[in-house]
Amino acid sequence: SETELNRLAEQLPAWLETSRKESRHGQPASYIPELAHAPGDALGIALLDAAGREVTAGDSRLSFTLQSISKVFTLLLALMDQGEEGVFRKVGMEPTGDDFNSMLKLELVEPGIPFNPLINAGAIAVSSLIRGATSAEKTERILSFFREVAGDPTLTFNEAVYRSEAATAHRNRSLAYFLKDNEVLDEEVEPVLDVYFKHCSVEVTCRHVARMALVLAMNGTDPLTGRELVPRRYVQIAKTFMVSCGMYNASGEFAIRVGLPAKSGVAGGILALVPGRYGIGVVGPALNDKGNSIAGVHLLQTMSEAFDWSMF
Ligand code: GLN
């Protein structure tokens, strides 16, 4: 509502500065070397409502790469391309309780399929399901879908981050080869990985992320254009995964403390939404030991408690 938004605009700068202090207990990811350059004490937020009213605070203009946030949107595109049956032949519906790049439980669901589409193994399988004759064509389709949902036709990859990940992704490579051996991947491994690295390296600000989140909050329709971008059923599936797996093995704690569908990425971004009401994008590159933005989670918790946003 307008009064809630006014109150939010008033309080947000002070809340953000309090949360920013949490950054010193974490640090930017460094296993992708290029991500280590991010400013560890940055914190920015953008919140957008269905009438197009926007509230921002802190480093809301900082650009960063989507990383795992992109997995929600490749899942949506794969569902639109292959239907539920086509997707869930290759990837499960269960949380793992392990790290996002875990190898531990790859074989425990059905014959070798990854537990869910938001862990790396599952997202790599999803990348292979995007329609397109070549990896370049798949990548192009992903990019144009992201551009539509973010409402920005100039959205593109950060080449340096893409190269940095592609050059150091030994673990993701081994996950992908394992999936290939289990016949989860029908295609060659390297072209599938190329699609995956590229969608992870799409560069955004938290204002883009807020817009992407708003489309999910409004069940697939962009309220600013009135266009249906994703069928409601697929958004429902994506939001359910966000609640059960969106914050990796901290998803249970996040559900208790914040209680909103959300997805984090290792560049420090968090996409969150208040169903039917707001899209939220947060960026804070310093991560906690679970790989989530430490200050970003703190800020979302403060807001959710103040406005009683928990879904539960
Ligand atoms: N591109 C990153 C990776 O595959 C995404 C992981 C993440 O954001 N958690 O390691």
ipTM: 0.96
Helix (H, G, I), strand (E, B) or coil at 152: coil
Buried residues in 125-158 as b, exposed as e (16+ CB within 10 A) = bbbbbbeeeebeebbebbbebbbbbbbbeebebb
Instruction: Report whether 234 belongs to an annotated binding site.
Output: no
- Can you tell me the distance from the alpha carbon of 231 to that of 233, in angstroms, rounded to the nearest whole number? 6
Q: Is the CB of 120 under 6 A from ligand 1?
A: yes
**Chunked in runs of 10, what are the mean pLDDT values of the chain (312 residues)?**
90 98 96 95 98 97 98 98 97 79 57 87 96 97 98 97 96 91 93 98 98 98 95 98 94 97 98 98 96 97 98 96
Q: Is the CB of 172 under 6 A from ligand 1?
A: yes
Q: What local confidence, expressed as pLDDT, does residue 100 receive? A: 61
Instruction: Report whether 248 belongs to an annotated binding site.
Output: yes
Give all domains of the chain, ordered by start, each with its CATH number. Answer: 2-67+204-306 (3.40.710.10), 68-200 (1.10.1500.10)
pLDDT 10s digits, 24-65: 999 999 999 999 999 999 999 999 999 999 999 999 999 999
Q: What local confidence, expressed as pLDDT, does residue 102 receive? A: 63
**306 is written with which tokens?**
């103040």
Instruction: Report whether 120 belongs to an annotated binding site.
Output: yes
Q: What local confidence, expressed as pLDDT, does residue 277 receive? A: 96
Q: What local confidence, expressed as pLDDT, does residue 265 receive? A: 97
Question: Which ligand 1 atom is at minimum distance from the Cα of 201?
Answer: 1
- Can you tell me the distance from the alpha carbon of 270 to that of 250, in angstroms, rounded to the nearest whole number? 13
Q: Please give the mean pLDDT across all residues of the chain.
A: 94
By residue count, the chain amounts to: 312
> Mind telling me the catalytic residues?
68, 71, 196, 248, 266
Q: Can you give the pTM of this predicted structure? A: 0.96
Helix (H, G, I), strand (E, B) or coil at 110: coil
CA of 57 to the centre of ligand 1 (A): 26
